[in-house]
Structure 1
Amino acid sequence: MDIVSEVKKREKELIKFRREFHKMPEIGLETPETAKFIKKILEENNIEYENYINNNGVVAVIDSGKEGKCLGIRTDMDALEIKEETDLPFKSTNGYMHACGHDSHMAGVLITLLILNDNKYKFRGKVKFIFQPGEEYPGGAELMIKEGVLENPRVDAIVALHAGGIFPEVPKGKIGVKNGKLMASMDKFHIEVLGQGGHGSTPEDTIDPIPVLCDIVQGINKIKSREIPLNEHVTISVCKIQAGFNQNIIPSNGEIEGTVRTYNDEIRSYIRDRIGEIVKSYTLGNRCDYKFFYSWKYPYLENNEEITEKLRNSVKKVLGEEDLYEIESMSMAGEDMSYYLREIPGTFFTLSNLQEDKDGKTYPNHNSKFDLDENLLWKGVAVFIQFALDFLN
């Protein structure tokens, strides 16, 4: 089977799918129109599927009819709450945007599914295709696992791809791979400081939450520099502060939100506890009350070395060694593919394919001007197919 030729035959369809997905961004766990489109393609090709997460997730199994292993290929479906600012003729207009490449992920996995369905006799076992909502938030992978997505048939290994420029070190057009730890855990904290508002001219009659918010932020920012060993990969970022609504009114309350990223679960627990202590000490010391919420979200993502090596060999086989890039640095970004990789062996790899705009500039994932070079999408499909054949045979 000439995999590259087979994929190239469907390249226009691959790009068409990507553009259709791009026009219909949906967020979180609510992706009904996206799921509807996927199901329509499956039905047109007489491929059975199952629904997950209130009909927002879709799973299809391609069965060779021969006994063997089961490979999972996963794609994310959701978009971001970003208003698109590209000049693309197929840009979204609903206030959301596929600003992280999930549109291309779905298109690539859908084409992979169709090609493998046409070539069932060339492999043994089964391939389970997982179309999963909620990767950006709140973590659809965990929910799908709880609903049994890795069972019946039991998935023996799983792979997924991320397009764009999430690892800037990977040169354009190359496939990035890495053994072991690749992406950080991702937690969220939310703090409410409760004071007593009043007139800005008489602060002595109020319990002003704004200085307390500032003290808490400063305290949180000192955790990494003063309490965490330098060799630990840790990021603590306060990303939202909100208080007040007028120049002469001291507000009654304010809030802070942020994220914690690390590769060490003990450090993760320590940071959670320290943020809680800082919030308590500053608020009570300044006559305020508080609410503190800490959400354990995605665990860190760790690739299985054996599966990664198999994928590495598949990349060399189908694209050539020159298209393989060994990622050296760990990212502080999070990915809920990590939930699957804690259950079964697998690997998460990347395709570097940021598209330049008319001025020659590229914009990173999660930017309102983010775009992908569609002429490179075929490479991800080729790797999926080659790996499926290699793994199952």
Structure 2
Amino acid sequence: MTTISMTFRKQAASLQPQLVAMRRELHRFPELSNEEYETTSRIRAWLTEAGIRLLDLNLPTGVLAEVKGARPGPTILLRADIDALPVNEETGLPFASEQPGKMHACGHDFHTVSMIGAAKLLQEHADELDGTVRILFQPAEELAIGARAAIEARVLEGVAAVFGMHNKPELPVGTVGIRMGPLMASVDRFEIEVLGKGGHAGIPDAAIDPIVICSAIVGALQTLVSRNVSPHHSAVVSVCKLQSGSTWNVIPDSGVLEGTVRTFQPEARRAIPERMKRIVESVADGYGAQARLTWTSMLPAVNNDERMAEIMQVTATAQGLHIVEAVPTMGGEDFALYQERVPGCFVWMGTGGTEQWHHPKFTLNEDALAIGASFFAEAAVQALKSVR
């Protein structure tokens, strides 16, 4: 372990009580996407108190900070997300959410405070840095719109590389999951409107039942994965909403299906919409009905650059952390939008929790806070040395 790595670990350990207090304050007062006004105010105050320069983000919520080294060099970006979820907390913790129906059920409070800790450590060693580290506290990740807004606000201007993380409850504290290539899936949304013919429930032959057709479409869509996507690719098609009818004895005129498609490979993502359209329209036509598909492309896959992943492996080794191969997930992350523009790496940080993301009893081990702070301070140093 290098001298600066040991220093980061020791200094982060001394910051641990502060980090825990910050995290618990954010946890008590969660705010939903694009409503993170008090969260933004708290982050700004904590960074200002530490003497860290704040840049004009030009967004209603979110914070962009900067630690400038004593010598010229590249600019890299560390990113954390700050929004909470519309979940009613059931942990029973003494610092549980005080906002009914709102909770940090995905651990973004952990991400935020870890990056504040990293910023504090880097500020202490600014005279040893060759370049600039920006730290972005991004709003609205849960709506998959925050990264796009931040990019439009020019946070990537002059940036050579970007790094981020998500907590991973099933990994022990002190473990980091790193993977080259795809880590989180692309995210697309679809809506299918089926137009049938309403009628009396006792005279179905005079109607064209959209509920029967919607059910047939749900079954047929499963062939997208089993028969329309290469077995060498990964894809998930989930129908998550089926809405039709208003009473027990009337066949309705129409029905609506909504869902999502997740893939890792761009070629699979490009192929699915047209194949879905063909299946949907042909099934409806077979019943004498019509169907309209609306496809909304939302996010590409999180795809880790090989060189940036190597930097994260060097970082984890320097910090004495246990490295495992990160297991990909079909969950999505708008961090992918940064990676479309600059090389980057997204990692799993072990937090030893009891429940998965978005669960009302989601918890994490706060011992991971100092580890996350030290890890990303180290990652910044390693990146500034390696990225040109």
Q: Give the TM-score normalised by the residue count of structure 2.
A: 0.91
The answer to whether the 8 Å contact 1:86/1:368 transfers is yes
Structure 2 counterpart SS, 1:324: strand
Secondary structure of 1:296's partner?
A: strand
The residue identity in structure 1 corresponding to 2:332 is: G
The answer as to whether partners of 2:355 and 2:361 remain within 8 angstroms in 1 is: yes
CA deviations 1:296-319 (Å, max 9, x no partner) are 111111111122112211211122
Conserved? CA contact 1:28–1:135, under 8 Å: yes
Q: TM-score, normalised by structure 1?
A: 0.90
What's the CA shift for 1:235?
Answer: 1.4
Question: How do residues 72-91 of structure 1 correspond to structure 2 at under 5 angstroms?
Answer: 72-91=77-96
User: Is residue 227 from structure 1 mapped to residue 242 from structure 2 by the alignment?
Assistant: no
1:14-42 alpha-carbon deviations (Å, 9 max, x no partner): 11221222223233333222222212223
- Deviation track 1:225-265 (CA, whole Å, cap 9, x = no partner) reads 12222121111111222223432333333221111111222
> Is the 8 Å Cα contact of residues 192 and 291 (structure 2) preserved in structure 1?
yes
- Aligned-pair CA distance for 1:349: 1.0
Taking the aligned partners of 1:14 and 1:387, their CA distance within structure 2 comes to 19
* Counterpart position of 2:102: 96
Q: CA 1:241/1:35 → structure 2, altered by over 3 Å: closer, same or farther?
A: same
2:134 maps to 128
- Conserved 8 A contact 1:354-1:364: no
- Rounded to whole Å, the distance in 2 between the matches of 1:200 and 1:16 is 61
Q: Could you list the runs of 5+ residues in structure 1 that have no partner in the other structure?
A: 356-361
SS at match of 1:144: helix
Structure 2 counterpart of 1:365: 357
**Matches of 2:291 and 2:151, distance apart in 1:** 35
For 2:29 and 2:201, how far apart are their aligned partners in 1?
Answer: 47
| Secondary structure of residue in 2 paired with 1:83 | coil
Task: Determine the C-alpha separation between the residues in 1 that align with 2:197 and 2:30.
Answer: 42
Which residue of structure 1 lines up, in the alignment, with residue 210 of structure 2? 209
Distance 2:199 2:94 in 1: 51
Alignment match of 1:20 (pick from 2, 16, 25):
25
Residue 11 of structure 1: how far off its partner (Å) = 0.5
Per the alignment, in what secondary structure is the counterpart of residue 54 of structure 1? coil
Query: Aligned to 2:32, what secondary structure does the other structure show?
Result: coil
Preserved CA contact (<8 Å) 2:164 2:345: yes
RMSD, aligned α-carbons: 2.0
Q: Match of 2:21, SS?
A: helix
Aligned to 2:324: 325
Asked whether the equivalents of residues 6 and 115 of structure 1 are also in contact (C-alpha less than 8 Å), the reply is yes
Looking at structure 1, the residues matched to 261 and 28 of structure 2 have their Cα atoms a distance apart, in angstroms, of 32
| Contact persistence 2:187–2:300 (CA under 8 A) | yes
Instruction: Give the equivalent residue in structure 1 for 2:304.
Output: 303
Instruction: Work out the CA distance in 1 between the residues paired with 2:101 and 2:58.
Output: 24
Secondary structure at 1:354 match in 2: coil
> Residue 161 of structure 1 contacts residue 380 of structure 1 at CA under 8 Å; is this kept in 2?
no
Q: Which residue of 2 aligns with 1:257?
A: 258
- Partners in 2 of 1:376 and 1:284 — Cα distance? 55
One-letter amino acid matched to 1:129 = I
Distance in 2 (alpha carbons) for counterparts of 1:105 and 1:291: 41
Q: Structure 1 residue aligned with 2:167, among 163, 170, 174?
A: 163
Q: Indicate the larger mover: 44-53 or 222-231.
A: 44-53
- The Cα of 1:59 is off from its aligned counterpart by 0.8
**Contact 1:75/1:131 (8 A) holds in 2:** yes
Pick the aligned partner of 2:374 from 377, 382, 386: 382
List runs of 5+ in structure 2 lacking aligned partners. Answer: none
**Which amino acid letter does the alignment assign opposite residue 237 of structure 1?**
S
Q: Secondary structure at the match of 1:89?
A: coil
Q: Percent identity?
A: 35
Who is 1:41 aligned against?
Answer: 46
What is the letter of the counterpart of residue 235 of structure 1?
V
Deviation of the 1:52 alpha carbon: 3.9
Write out per-residue CA displacement over residues 197-220 of structure 1, whole angstroms, 9 at most, x where no aligned residue.
444334345432101110110111
State the aligned residue count: 379
Q: SS where residue 340 of structure 2 aligns?
A: helix
User: Matched residues in 2 for 1:336 and 1:235: separation?
Assistant: 18
Q: Which moved more, 1:49-58 or 1:116-125?
A: 49-58
Give the distance between the partners of 1:224 and 1:65, measured in 2 at CA. Answer: 53
Answering whether residue 35 of structure 2 is matched by residue 30 of structure 1, we say yes
